[in-house]
Amino acid sequence: MNVTNGNKTTSCQDETVCTLQIYPRLSVKPGQSCILRVPKEATAATVIKTALATLGLDTSKTYVLVEVQEYGGEEWVLHASDQPVQRVLLWPRKAQDKHPQSDGYFFALQEGSYDGSIQYDVMTSVRQEKVAQGLANRGFVTQQPQEYDDLCNLPELTEESILGTLRHRFHKQKIYTFASNILIAVNPFKFLPIYNPRYVKMYENHTLGKLEPHVFAIADAAFHTMLNKQVNQCIVISGESGSGKTQSTNFLIHCLTALSQKGYTSGVERTILGAGPVLEAFGNAKTAHNNNSSRFGKFIQVNYLESGVVRGAVVEKYLLEKCRLVSRGKTERNYHVFYYLLIGASEEEKDEFKLLHPEQYHYLKEEIPIAEDQAEMKHEFRRLDQAMEMVGFLPSTKKQIFSVLSAILYLGNVTYQPKDVGEGLKVGPDRVLYAISDLLKVKVELLVEALTTRKAMTANDTLILPYSLNEAITARDSMAKSLYSALFDWIVLRINHALLNKRDLEESVPRLSIGVLDIFGFEDFKMNSFEQFCINYANEQLQYYCNQRIFTLEQEEYRAEGITWHNIDYPDNIGCISLFSKKPTGLFYLLDEESNFPRATDSTLLEKFKQQHQDNPFFVQTPVREPAFVIQHFAGKVKYQIKDFREKNTDHMRPDIVALLRSSECSYLRQLIGANPVAVFRWGILRATIRTLAVFNEAGRSWAEKHPVFISFLNFSDLGLGSIRELHAKVLQSLKQFGGEVPQKLHLSTISMLLNVIVLFSVQNLIDSHSLKFIMNLTQHNRATRSLLHLHTKKKPPSISAQFQASLSKLLETLRKAEPFFVRCIRSNGDKREMHFDDALVLQQLRYTGMLQTVRIRRSGYGAKFTFKEFTDQFRVLLPKEISTPQQDITNLLTKMGLPRSSFQIGRTKVFLKESERQILQEALHKEVMRRIIILQRWFRACLMRKQYLREREGIITIQVLFVWLSRGFKKNAFSRPVVSKCFSCNDLPLLLSFISLFGPKASGSHSNFPHVKSSATFPGPRRNPTIKISRATRVQEKWNASLDREITDSNELRHLDEFLGNQVCVDVYILLQLFERHLDFNSKVGFDTLVNPNIGYKTLMSGYQTRVSSLAGLKKASEVPLVVNLFQSVLDGFIRGELKRLEADQLGHLFSTYQVTIMQSCDQCSSFIWGMEKAFMCSSCKMVCHKKCLSKITVNCTGHCDRKVSTAQTLHFGVPVCALVRTADSVPFVMEKMLVHVEMNGLYTEGIYRKSGSVCRAKELHHLLEKSPQAVSFDNYPIHTITGLVKQWLRELPDPLMTYSLYNDFLYAADLPEESERLRAVYRRLDELPPPNFSTLERLIFHLVKVAKEEAHNRMSVNALAIVFAPCILRCPDSSDPLLSMKDINKTTLCVEILINEQTRRYNQKMEEIQQLENAEAMAVKQLKLRRQNTIFERPKLGSDVSSVDGANLEIEKNLLERIKSIKKEKNDLAFRLPEFDQDSSDAENMDSESLVSSDSLLEDHCVSLDSEGQY
């Protein structure tokens, strides 16, 4: 930027006009700059406008002004109100005076970021790139590698080239890179704003590799592969600890739920999104490598219907790290939930749960300070609270969970001291014991006993033995770990129960699934124990699975098919897996064996390890006295400390602890320790039933004492329950079946009492709980860890390692049944530094994951595989008609298309193609199909034109012959019948009659018997015909009172309100106002003109209006005040709705609605963070997300809607976006409205009104006239089928159809829902997302189709026929879609339109019945009023009667009748507002309605006059 004054340079601080130099970053003018002289206070918007005019750029696009400071590596996008000159004053002095672009301080002009391309808002250091480029040009450093988004495209495939590409992209903040269909994600340790909903929309239904690499691309590819192939998919996320696997999982789940939210969105997606934060809070912790490390593994399987709608989900967890609860490293923390609760809870909650400061708990003593994270933890606690509500936890349940967490923390503060006298330990302090007792609802004596002693069972007796100090501490910690593990298992069970779809229990519907595996990453700490031993074994299995899928199976298939292939070696880790799990000498089996020996120790276990595997290359020997061993993993050597291996392998819930917790008065705590959820659930029902029984018995006895006469005994013989003994046996058998303990007091008497309330509780429900059993079968709920609940059970539970191996085997079996997608997460550095790339660490991860070999096999291999049948079925259009030898025909096709011979191979039974060649083949198929479709269309149109030509030619010849005959006949003044019969057949008689009526002599005075059609030349302009409100009718009623909460803060809104009330034409409003004052000056009486600073609410306005009306009415007319106020409220509410629509239209085309943020996102307006579980606003069209405070600052047009200002200068009416043809958002384009009105007035009774086509020539003629001057066109000169054809043509030529391309898939998913009610709700929800002009036009069209369908008896157009005709016009797929696939969607699109027509017909009939009832009531009231007035006029009062009393009674009766008529008319108006009436000229019934309306109004007017006249006497 240069700041000059005349010929010499000066400071901008001393001048009012400064010079700015702008450098455009545009492809059209890349190197050109412009110099602008602008005022000192000029804003960025003014500078941009001046620069566009100077450079001659397109002003319809969006541009931003960017301040570049290359030395700091920063770029700032200036807001429209920012002042660029003020920013210059912050630059160095040299940059203010003279600054070439090379100095690093300048302004850049570039296009906005809402054009659909992916742009990262956080910029890297441009200065570093330029310096590096300069050094490379001078030969000091090597040339930077060219940027490749797919490693398979590298010209030279080496470790250095892969590392350089990842580094180069990472420094540009592009953390994702493809290796064919494998995604590599480098953790930046900071949030990047590339996960907003608009990115989900951007990657939706795009071929993998077409756009920039992104995790959303993998989610979309898995989703659409599942739908296209109807095969289950899984996404395997692998990487070491701290590589970002948990975040990638959250992004994938967010995208998968967003893709599935088509049509009716149920609560399943909400529950899935809420489950993530809950599981993270209870299962994640801060470690040395990761701030949000998953200390358990989880596999989330999202189930879908075949249409892609989410049906349910299942979450399965693996190996929670319980030891972290009581001990961990110095640089690590406990689970997140403890810190969230202690710091984020309110004062009331802290008192209720007896919470202390974190440093006061023994389990939370950390060396890592938490003061710096307190603000974040408070927010995370609020997020956790909202997520628990989304999952379905009640407030009472959350309190119980927090009570258990507080009790666990207090257990760590329990201390022990030796007793002064005798053996045993003293436990304390007392306040801690009483706090635990109160939180767990157990007795203090039993708590002390469980913490200091244990029971030993002998053959004849039970011994109580005191703990030693170490044993007591171990028992205390065991109780805490067991309680937390039980709590975590219960939370997972509840989440799965909330995610369960009940239809899975009732019906067998085919379903698909996408599984996302987020399992603990490879770990190597300073101190590695049993947990790392199991975790690294899981990573070995996962690495083996990836190798099998990527290398082994791939190459075996190539060899089996006999194609040319050079084998690629890869690191195989099967030997390490055998070291762990091979029977009988595997480490796991040796560990279980030693765990069962009573006298075994950790030292004997280590000796057995060394003895059995001293010659194994994967088992590295250690010094003799060191209590550790080393294993050579695929990721490197890891040393494990043998301490506590045996104890952690048998860490079950102790019987004494179980007995203590079972004695709790809290039923929730008893649920946590239940061995089987089904048994606990059933016993809970039985307990609740018995308690209910006691209440009923007590109430029955009380009632019997008061009513002894009515006592009777119930007869249970008809209940079909059998004998009481059979029921007793059935209940006992049910409890035993699921491992539940049979209560000792469950006698026959209890069952007998149970029958007293059997009317209320069915035994079938008591012993049946399919949902819990279904979940347990899916998740293999961990029962073994708590199997010691039953003291009589002799069978030992399986060890922790055995359970882990079993669950891992089941997981791998599930993965093998699905098609996998892989996401390789890479840790960028070991210090958790933001945007720091450690070459050595990244290279180490690339090596042990075999990334070089992976890229090599993906590069050399073939990503697309087809059997001969699959290939011929999919590409039959490109193949010859007769396929004799598939191999040769396919080879000829691929060779003919010019594909390189190295890009495909033909095997024995399959065709192998590169992915790029498959895309070329798919594009060729698309072009060929479109070419053939066009040929068919041309042929069909030629046939129609030929047929029409022959018909017109025959008609012309007939008319010519007839004209010659008539001319001869009239000259001779004779009518020769033989000539007529000779020239015409019987089929030509209608043509003859019409010809005579047009050209025959008029002297006869005869008139045509054909009906006269009213001319449409008198059409009054773009008058909106009343339509059926599609979905806003019910919304109006729901927001009737809520809309009055709005405040008037803008003077323009106040002015609009004044104009609105002054321009009202509602007869009822002014008639009712005239009852009080003829000339009511609303502005002066209510006080609008006195508002200097308008900040008044509509409720305040209503109260002031009511006060004013009451004062005007007085006591005599006070009864009519509520009627007037209610009517005015309806008028005011209509204005508020219109004002909201106007403000909505003013938002630059955006349609914002409230949006629940589930993952961290960034505001598209201010670029600041939007935290998870916060409320934001999202545009339903362009998916723009922003804060509520940023709504008024938006300056970017919605890319999902057209810009109405751009197209206002055009005069075309066909092929133009709907929004460019309307003036207001709720209006209908003039041409469309005019054609529909004419069809409704003249063509509803025409047979095949939309099935038959009109003359092409007349249609072209009318089309030209409508384009030129639609107001002057008269439709009377054109056949009705020509006009109906233009209606369909107008809809087909829209650039974006009425139901929009963006919502096409949404409507398809809605139509594919199984339940009719769900389909209906889904379709109407999608309608709410349409742009207002499209919504209004579609609303008008549906109303028109309802009119047509009502006359099906005459026009033969059923609802289904109309849907078949109009579905391709208003709901069509994008042109880029595969035409073969889109043909399969015809039934769904037709069903969508048919649903709309049927539902609107139903609503129409319902409302018309209500209106008809009101009209009947109104007619009766009017009739009574007429009779009353007639009798009043002609009757004479009798002698001696009181004339005044008679007149008063008559006036009172008339007044009541008038009030009844008014209330009926008000209700009719309300119905008409929600469902407007038909055009009055369209039917006789509507003419009758208008007559009754006039008669009612005339009576009201007469009544007003009579009241005035009576007041004069």
Q: By the 8 A CB rule, do 287 and 332 touch?
A: yes
Query: Do 104 and 69 contact (CB within 8 A), yes or no?
Result: yes
Cα 1342 to Cα 633, 1366, 1408, distances in angstroms: 67, 10, 17
Angle at 158 (CA atoms; ends 157, 161), nearest 5 degrees: 85
The candidate with the shortest Cα–Cα distance to 961, out of 953, 951, 972, is 953
Dihedral sign of CA atoms 1118, 1122, 1127, 1132 in order: positive
Residue 663, judged by CB atoms within 10 A of its CB (0-12, 13-18, 19+), counts as middle
User: What tokens appear for 89 in the block?
Assistant: 């004053």
Q: How far is CA 570 from CA 351, 574, 856, in A?
A: 60, 12, 10
Any long-range contacts for 845-848 (C-beta under 8 Å, 24+ apart)? 845/239, 845/240, 845/243, 845/635, 846/159, 846/162, 846/163, 847/159, 848/571, 848/634, 848/635, 848/636
Beta bridge partners of 864: 913
Please give the single-letter amino acid code of residue 410.
Y
Sort strands 864-867 and 910-913 into parallel, antiparallel or unpaired.
antiparallel
Rounded to the nearest 5°, which phi and psi values hold at 881? -65, -45
Closest C-alpha to 1172, from 202, 516, 517, 386 = 386
Which among 905, 892, 899, 888 has a CA at the least distance from the CA of 921? 899
Q: Indicate the angle between helix axes 1359-1370 and 1280-1292, nearest 10 degrees.
A: 40
Confirm or deny that 663 is annotated as ligand binding: no
Residue partners of 590: CB distance under 8 A and separation at least 6: 605, 608, 609, 612
Strands 636-641 and 628-633, sheet pairing: antiparallel
The rounded distance, in Å, linking the Cα atoms of 253 and 387 is: 15
Residue 242 assigned as binding residue:
yes
User: In angstroms, rounded to a whole number, what is the distance separating the alpha carbons of residues 681 and 766?
Assistant: 9
Q: How far apart are CA 387 and CA 1349, in angstroms?
A: 48
Task: Give the residue from 644, 613, 1461 showing the smallest Cα distance to 1071.
Answer: 1461
* Residues in a beta bridge with 105: 69
For 650, the enclosing helix (H) or strand (E) is none
DSSP code of residue 1044: G
- How many angstroms separate the CA atoms of 235 and 249, rounded? 9
- The token duo for 961 is 């012959």
243 is in an annotated binding site: yes
The rounded distance, in Å, linking the Cα atoms of 1237 and 1231 is 10
Residue carrying structure tokens 């057995």: 608
Specify the pairing of strand 462-466 against strand 904-906.
unpaired
CA distances from 1386 to 204, 226, 469, 1288, 1389 (A): 21, 21, 76, 17, 5
- The secondary structure of 385-440 as a DSSP string is HHHHHHHT--HHHHHHHHHHHHHHHHHTT-EEEE-SSSSSEEEE-HHHHHHHHHHH
- The answer to whether 1116 is annotated as binding is no
Phi and psi at 515, nearest 5°, equal -100, 140
Query: Do the annotations mark residue 244 as ligand-binding?
Result: yes
Q: CB neighbours of 1030 closer than 8 A, spacing ≥ 6?
A: 1324, 1327, 1335, 1338, 1339, 1342, 1396, 1400
- For 263, the 3-state DSSP assignment is coil
Binding-site residue positions: 239-246
Binding residues for ATP: 239-246
